[in-house]
């Protein structure tokens, strides 16, 4: 029989941490994807030369470790600008921009994968640029980009463990608090890993289902 001091309230505490992880991930991936689509289309349309300023900004978010981004942004917004934003708000802002930086390259690559002959054919039929993008390019690019986007979303979910540095009590931080109090690191880390698995497994399976279904169409 397992001898542990872990109580039902402790499980509830971990579940609340998991809920915070899910909340931060959904919010960041949602808005990051929207910005990523916009940035990706701009990068593709303007080309490497005219989109260079945007590319530099996105490279900053891709190149600097997320932990440093969180600490610097929290300090800058709070100490320099004195905006008084909560740690949760700062975490969502940083993770959104972090997601958009990677998503932009996924979108750009997906658009470039659409055959140019197909795009010329759509324009020869009288489609406008917007109609071509909406009806031809984005649906095909989505099929190409989906596996990478799923990987990005799962990566952001795991990277959200770093938001503890801006005083957000997510799943890993909740686990660390209980480890300090109960002194049962192995059991608690196993439970933490199980929570992460339960969060990520349905997303990965659903992405695999969509990819398989679209490949058979």
pLDDT digits (tens, 9 = 90+) for 92-142: 999 999 999 999 999 999 999 888 888 888 878 888 888 888 888 888 888
Q: State what percent of residues in the chain have pLDDT above 90.
A: 60
pTM summary value: 0.89
**How large is the angle between the packed helices 8-50 and 171-182, nearest 10 degrees?**
140
Q: Is 122 helix (H, G, I), strand (E, B) or coil?
A: helix
Q: Which fold has domain 9-216?
A: MetI-like fold (1.10.3720)
DSSP string across 153-198: HHHHHHHGGGGGGGT---HHHHHHHHHHHH--HHHHHHHHHHHHHH
Q: Which of 140, 158, 146, 41 is nearest to 95 (CA)?
A: 158
What are the domain boundaries of the chain?
9-216
> Counting runs of H as helices and runs of E as strands, what totals does the chain give?
9, 0
Distance of CA 14 to the CA centre of its chain: 22
| pLDDT tens digits for range 14-43 | 999 999 999 999 999 999 999 999 999 999
Q: Cβ(156)–Cβ(25) under 8 Å?
A: yes
Distance of CA 36 to the CA centre of its chain: 10
């Amino acid at each position: 029989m397992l001898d542990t001091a872990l109580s039902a309230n402790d499980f509830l505490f971990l579940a609340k941490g998991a809920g915070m992880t899910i909340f931060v991930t959904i919010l960041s991936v949602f808005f990051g994807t929207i910005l990523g689509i916009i940035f990706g289309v701009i990068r593709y349309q303007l080309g490497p030369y005219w989109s260079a300023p945007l590319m530099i900004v996105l490279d900053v978010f891709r190149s600097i470790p997320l932990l440093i981004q969180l600490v610097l942004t929290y300090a800058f917004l709070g100490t320099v600008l004195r905006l008084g934003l909560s740690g949760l708000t700062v975490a969502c802002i940083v993770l959104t921009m972090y997601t958009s930086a990677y998503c932009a390259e996924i979108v750009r690559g997906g658009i470039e994968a659409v055959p140019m002959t197909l795009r010329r054919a759509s324009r020869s039929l009288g489609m406008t640029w917007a109609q071509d993008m909406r009806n031809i390019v984005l649906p095909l690019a989505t099929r190409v980009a989906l596996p990478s986007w799923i990987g990005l979303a799962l990566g952001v979910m795991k990277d959200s463990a770093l938001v503890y540095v801006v005083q957000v009590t997510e799943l890993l931080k909740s686990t660390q608090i209980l480890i300090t109090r109960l002194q049962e690191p192995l059991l608690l880390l196993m439970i933490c890993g199980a929570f992460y698995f339960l969060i990520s497994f349905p997303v990965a399976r659903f992405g695999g289902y969509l990819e398989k279904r679209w490949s058979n169409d």
